[in-house]
Structure 1
Amino acid sequence: MNRSRSRRSALAAAALALLAGALAAGCGDPGDLRGAGATPTAVGPTRLWPDLPPASSPLGDYGTADTEEVKGVKVPGGDLHKVDPVAIVKAQAAAHPDDYSGPSALYKETADALKNCGKKGKECPVLKAYYRDFTGDGKDDMVIGIRMPEEQLAIRVYAMEKGHLTQIMGTSDAVVGVELAGRDLVLRAASDIPGYEYRTAWSWDRHQRAMLPTRDEFLRSSDAPRPKGVRSPAPELTEMPAEEVPAAPGPSSGARPDEGGDAGE
């Protein structure tokens, strides 16, 4: 379900190779103008089965636009930096003790492991929080990761909606990487095909008042084995510096993780 910037490196390398080839071919060329041949005719997309009636309803409801108000957690001054992420997860687990499916669900083992949070020497399943303004209201939203059984990772995003703490995105997958790119949250997930991965970009939708999976790709992994002689691209940062985040209405904040390790430790 996800995407990568390694493709940009490949495109840049291809462009440099073409430029070098053009310069080499130009050596000794008197500079005469030469025709490049006929311009190929642009071909637009062709619609198949135009008489086929469109589906009236989706095959399944994935709940991607589901949101939930989190009750019982105070947010001082509406600042999510002042809220313990473990308290948020515990509040949702208490509100849905028998719910083990859906965007807000936890495995029973994970819900039980929440008791370890804050205890010395115990592993808390809730990872440290990251912050970014996804909604464009000028206030930081909170991104939480929760370790789940079977190498799954639950990802949740919380925002202040009309003064209420609200979960605006929730999903879980066999995640191999999470990235912040502008106002998008990009998830890289494992694939059954070796050397490939899913990359999904989740973006804020003002109509649904939720983050939706706006771009979904199946791509070659950036760390997949390469043919001999092919140089690997330089490692890239998984988040953009704050000054490079695209401008949007109101002040935008860069990603700022809390200090320390897992939440509650």
Structure 2
Amino acid sequence: MIHSRPARAALGAAVTAALMTALAGCGDSGDLRGADTTPTAVGPAKLWPQVPPASTPALDYGEADTETVKGVTAPGDDIHRVDPLAVVRAEVAAHPAEYSGPHAMYAQTVDHLADCGKKGTLGEKCPILQAYYRDLTGDGKDDMVLGIRFPKHQLAVRVYTFTQHRLVQVMGTSDSVVSVELAGRQVIIRSPSTLPGYEFRTVWSWDPHQQAMLATRDEILRVRPPTPRPTASPTLSPSASAS
């Protein structure tokens, strides 16, 4: 039933009166009461202050790398009209060491591009997954999220946007993946961990200063209790079985 405004006011007054009656019956005076003692806040303690700060990064995640996709455009910069296959072919052409040659890591992926666009079992080997669209950069226009299957169960995740009439890749990463999610303007990638019952969770967010998607949060989370080790069933001794 939909209450009108006067009925809602009457209902609220009735609930308030009932609540006050219940509190009076419980002997509660309604006065403010202090909570338990709050622990004193303790600031961070800096360890080993004599060690000089590092001047170079320990690892290069490549999270701020961007790349213009050459030769791929769309009328009105409408990313929905961009052909994902053309985007991947442009990436292959721009990185021949990775996609072609006897020692290329992703040569198998290039071979399977021939299956893209074919229906039925002929197209099952196509490594390009369905494209998803969402405004991740906050400019009011959709961006494209693309997945590419790589050998050894690796999945590459790419994000593309139009910048000054150029198609630009603003995120590129590849890993063994449990799932990929879109939450608001973030891309969340969950990956398996070597610790039983745990997963890695990386959150990628748009950074307007770098004009790229950055890994703004990288954490390891417990997702399920660890599987207990099997225990041997107890066996009866000869004397116990005889009795």
1:148 aligns with 2:142: no
For 2:136, the equivalent position in structure 1 comes to 134
Count of residues in Structure 1 that have an aligned counterpart in Structure 2: 195
Q: 1:93–1:106: 8 Å Cα contact kept in structure 2?
A: no
SS in 1 for 2:108: helix
TM-score, normalised with respect to structure 2: 0.74
Cα separation, partners in 2 of 1:162 and 1:51, compared to 1, 3 Å: same
Matches within 5 A, 1:64-213: 64-99=63-98, 107-120=106-119, 121-123=122-124, 124-213=126-215
Higher helix share: 2
Cα RMSD after superposing both structures: 2.3
Query: Please, which runs of 5 or more residues in structure 1 have no aligned partner?
Result: 1-25, 228-265
Cα separation, partners in 2 of 1:45 and 1:109, compared to 1, 3 Å: same
Residue identity over aligned pairs, in percent, reads 62
**Cα distance in 2, alignment partners of residues 151 and 112 from structure 1:** 16
**Cα distance in 1, alignment partners of residues 226 and 182 from structure 2:** 26
Cα separation, partners in 2 of 1:70 and 1:207, compared to 1, 3 Å: same
CA-CA distance at 1:29 after TM superposition: 6.4
Matches within 5 A, 1:209-228: 209-221=211-223, 224-225=224-225
**Cα distance in 2, alignment partners of residues 70 and 39 from structure 1:** 56
CA-CA distance at 1:146 after TM superposition: 0.7
Residue deviations 1:85-113 (CA, integer Å, cap 9, x gap): 1110011102222225xxxx971111221
Q: 2:129–2:146: 8 Å Cα contact kept in structure 1?
A: yes
CA-CA distance at 1:138 after TM superposition: 1.1
Q: 1:145–1:156: 8 Å Cα contact kept in structure 2?
A: yes
